Amino acid sequence: MKILLLNGPNLNLLGTREPEIYGTVSMEKHLELLQKAYPKHEILYYQSNVEGEIINRLQENDFEALIINPGAFTHYSYAIADCLKNISQPKIEVHISNIYKREEFRQKSVTAVNADGIISGFGMNGYSLAVASLIL
């Protein structure tokens, strides 16, 4: 299976950004671990801090399943939500932290309504859980 793992704004800083919330493992290191754990599957990776670039990447439609962590766009990007609505492939929204234990504005996801499932609060393991759920 070809899986697109797409991260939104500031997630390029994983490993150094607020390690008490997001941990100390970089996304590059975690991608290595995912590839080793799921060698039969192709995991494509894309990250952008720009909303339009995320939409453009999603519209390339060159994947069989999607794992998306929209970052801060989770809470207000109706443009990404609309884009997700038009993707027929299975899609899982992932959040490293438990968004329901954070500030009130972070507890609402406008994108989740267009995902098949949500994984929140399991740290970087959330990405592995998402892959596992997609390949079952």
Is the separation of the CB atoms in 74 and 114 below 8 Å?
no
Cα first-last separation, the chain: 11
Q: Phi first, then psi: what are they for 92, rounded to 5°?
A: -120, 130
d(CA 61, CA 6): 13
Q: Does the annotation mark 78 as catalytic?
A: no
CB 64 within 8 A of CB 89: yes
Based on the residue annotation, tell me whether 41 is a catalytic residue of this protein.
Answer: no
Q: Compute the C-alpha angle 50/114/15, nearest 5°.
A: 45
H helix intervals, the chain = 19-22, 27-37, 51-59, 78-85, 125-135
Per-residue tokens: 135: 């390949």
Active-site hit among 76, 95, 100, 127:
95
Residues marked as catalytic: 22, 95
